[in-house]
């Protein structure tokens, strides 16, 4: 694939149409129908690639292609790529002990199993712990998460059991920083991001200035698709090898069994910061951030969203999208998928995607006012200005302000807002943090002097003032 800049967005893939790539556009439309109608599923973006070309893409307004989106645990797959590049350059040995990269901790870490954890065990979430260690590791050392993790003894021999474990990935990022002498993003920029045409990626850092590694990466949907395409192409991009082929093989195959996971697409085994699935493999993050790679179909599907039911998203892909993809070597089926009328309809639909604004009647002058609030924010003020309405939120000792759309979303910076008056005369106000999955519901009743605020989905490591792209 080639990279080219279009306006402020780097487009990494040559454009095509679904039918030209052996995809029935009606199946893509059915997939969109499912995403938009399934309870606890809210899509924000989709990028669909086949044969390294763009079959379909769309963003549900107020989300937009040039914006980054918080990826939550899909960040792990970017961290792992940094490790893979360091392995290729001879800086990291998968079979070296983790402790060997932190010799200053040698005297502190006395548990034999902790001392036997290897880099490959971190990658496979197979450190020997039976469950998440983040809270215990932080308690063991509030200032050094790597030390706290290594001071938390594994329950079993490393490599023998799976447990989704944030400090494993944090430690991987710390190893990359240790062997390269810089930040994880600094390491990735010339070696991964620039070659793949990813011109905007930022990472939340902890109080020590270190990238979280396991979460906190903000990137556009096109970056997610590009990472998937790199793995689909077995580590080669534009003729340049970025990841070794044996790394790709290991990362995208089961390194440890995880049959006890509840959902079917989470119990097929785990690779190197990738989940194996009923079809292909994927990276994913909380609330519906997905990088799905289907090698048999030569397809990459990148999605962002605010979805509590992530299994439903994959169920919809398997039910509607997968059957619409003609086999790679089946020319007859490929020809049968060539429905240009459906292509045109899908393209028009993708161009007009949007999340519904708040429904109800338009606010009138008596809706303006301010109140103390309960819930997420401390106070709400709604006022008319020359351009319409504006909301101001007092929260966490700071101020958030955004224009408010009526019957639409209005966007300013990292916020989008929409409002309407409900049957009781109160203003229902939705504020979206459009560089993240999250939505805040606010209800303001000036006549009663009350206001409430509640998250649609709970942010995992940020408050309202930091739900945005981190500063570089």
Element (H, E) at 53: strand 53-59
Q: Is the pTM of this model over 0.75?
A: yes
**Which range marks the domain in which residue 44 is found?**
4-88+179-351
What does the pLDDT read at residue 336? 54
pLDDT above 60 (res 11)? no
Please check whether residues 413 and 440 belong to one and the same domain.
yes
What does the pLDDT read at residue 47? 98
Please check whether residues 374 and 322 belong to one and the same domain.
no
* Residue 125 forms part of a structural domain: no
* Residue 289 forms part of a structural domain: yes
Q: Which of 351, 381, 413 is the last residue of a domain?
A: 351
Please check whether residues 375 and 328 belong to one and the same domain.
no
CA torsion angle 117 120 126 128 (round to 10): -10
C-alpha–C-alpha distance, residues 417 and 410, integer Å: 6
Please check whether residues 259 and 379 belong to one and the same domain.
no
Please check whether residues 431 and 343 belong to one and the same domain.
no
Residue 256: Cβ within 10 Å count: 17
Please check whether residues 225 and 279 belong to one and the same domain.
yes
Element (H, E) at 58: strand 53-59
Q: Which of 301, 329, 351 is the last residue of a domain?
A: 351
Please check whether residues 305 and 373 belong to one and the same domain.
no
* Residue 152 forms part of a structural domain: no
Q: Which of 326, 351, 376 is the last residue of a domain?
A: 351
* Residue 141 forms part of a structural domain: no
* Residue 360 forms part of a structural domain: no
Please check whether residues 264 and 316 belong to one and the same domain.
yes
What does the pLDDT read at residue 335? 60
CATH code: domain of residue 222:
3.40.710.10
C-alpha–C-alpha distance, residues 114 and 123, integer Å: 15
In the structure encoding, which two tokens stand for residue 92, read together?
Answer: 């990291």
C-alpha–C-alpha distance, residues 64 and 383, integer Å: 27
Please check whether residues 339 and 462 belong to one and the same domain.
no
Q: Confidence band (pLDDT; 50, 70, 90) for 340?
A: confident
Please check whether residues 298 and 404 belong to one and the same domain.
no
* Residue 116 forms part of a structural domain: no
Q: Where are the beta strands (DSSP E) in 336-378?
A: 369-372, 374-375
Please check whether residues 343 and 399 belong to one and the same domain.
no
**C-alpha to C-alpha distances, 379 to 63, 179, 398, nearest whole angstrom:** 26, 47, 11
C-alpha–C-alpha distance, residues 452 and 439, integer Å: 14
Kind of pairing between the strands at 374-375 and 450-455: parallel
Contacts of 230 (CB under 8 A, 6+ apart): 81, 192, 196, 236, 237, 242, 243
Give the lowest-confidence range in 86-95, 100-109, 252-261, 331-340: 331-340
Please check whether residues 83 and 206 belong to one and the same domain.
yes
Residue 315: Cβ within 10 Å count: 18
* Residue 157 forms part of a structural domain: no
Q: Confidence band (pLDDT; 50, 70, 90) for 3?
A: very low
Our count of domains for the chain comes to 2
The residue written with tokens 């049957």 in the block is 423
C-alpha–C-alpha distance, residues 187 and 193, integer Å: 9
Convert the pLDDT of each residue in 138-174 to its tens digit: 999 999 999 999 999 999 999 999 999 999 999 999 9
* Residue 105 forms part of a structural domain: no
Q: What letter would DSSP give residue 426?
A: P
């Amino acid at each position: 694939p080639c990279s080219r800049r279009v306006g402020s967005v780097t487009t990494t893939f040559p454009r095509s149409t679904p039918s030209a790539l052996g995809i029935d556009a009606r199946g893509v439309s059915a997939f969109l129908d499912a995403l938009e109608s399934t309870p606890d599923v809210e899509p924000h973006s989709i990028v669909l690639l086949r044969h390294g070309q763009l079959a379909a893409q769309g963003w549900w307004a107020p989300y937009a292609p040039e914006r980054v989106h918080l990826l939550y645990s899909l960040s792990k797959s970017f961290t792992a790529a940094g490790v893979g590049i360091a392995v290729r350059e001879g800086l990291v040995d998968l079979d070296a002990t983790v402790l060997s990269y932190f010799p200053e901790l040698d005297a502190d870490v006395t548990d034999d199993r902790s001392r036997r954890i290897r880099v490959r065990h971190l990658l496979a979430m197979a450190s020997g712990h039976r469950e998440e260690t983040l809270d215990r590791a932080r308690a063991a050392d509030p200032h050094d998460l790597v030390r706290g993790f290594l001071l938390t003894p594994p329950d079993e021999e490393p490599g023998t059991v799976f447990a989704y474990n944030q400090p494993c990935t944090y430690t991987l990022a710390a190893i990359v920083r240790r062997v390269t002498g810089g930040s994880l993003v600094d390491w990735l920029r010339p070696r991964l991001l620039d070659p793949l045409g990813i011109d905007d990626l930022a990472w939340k850092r902890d109080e020590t200035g270190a990238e979280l590694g396991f979460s906190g990466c903000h990137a556009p949907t096109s970056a997610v698709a590009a990472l998937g395409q790199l793995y689909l192409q077995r580590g080669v991009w534009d003729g340049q090898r970025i990841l070794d082929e044996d790394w790709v093989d290991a990362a995208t195959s089961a390194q440890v069994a995880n049959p006890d996971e509840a959902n079917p697409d989470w119990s097929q085994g785990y690779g190197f910061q990738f989940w194996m699935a009923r079809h292909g493999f994927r990276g994913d993050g909380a609330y519906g951030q997905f990088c799905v790679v289907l090698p048999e179909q030569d397809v990459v599907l990148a999605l962002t969203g605010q979805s509590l039911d992530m299994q439903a998203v994959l169920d919809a892909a398997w039910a509607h999208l997968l059957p619409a993809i003609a086999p790679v070597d089946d020319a007859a089926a490929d020809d049968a998928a060539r429905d240009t009328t459906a292509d045109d309809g899908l393209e028009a639909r993708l161009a007009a995607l949007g999340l519904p604004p708040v429904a109800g009647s338009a606010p009138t002058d008596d809706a303006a006012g301010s109140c103390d609030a309960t819930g997420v924010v401390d106070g709400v003020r709604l006022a008319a200005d020359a351009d319409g309405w504006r909301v101001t939120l007092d929260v966490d000792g700071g101020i958030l302000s955004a224009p408010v759309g009526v019957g639409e979303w209005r966007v300013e910076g990292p916020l989008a807002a929409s409002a309407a008056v409900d049957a009781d005369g109160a203003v229902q106000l939705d504020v979206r943090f459009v560089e993240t999955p999250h939505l805040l519901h606010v209800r303001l009743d000036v006549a009663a002097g009350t206001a409430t605020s509640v998250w649609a989905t709970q942010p995992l490591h940020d408050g309202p003032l930091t739900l945005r792209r981190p500063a570089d």
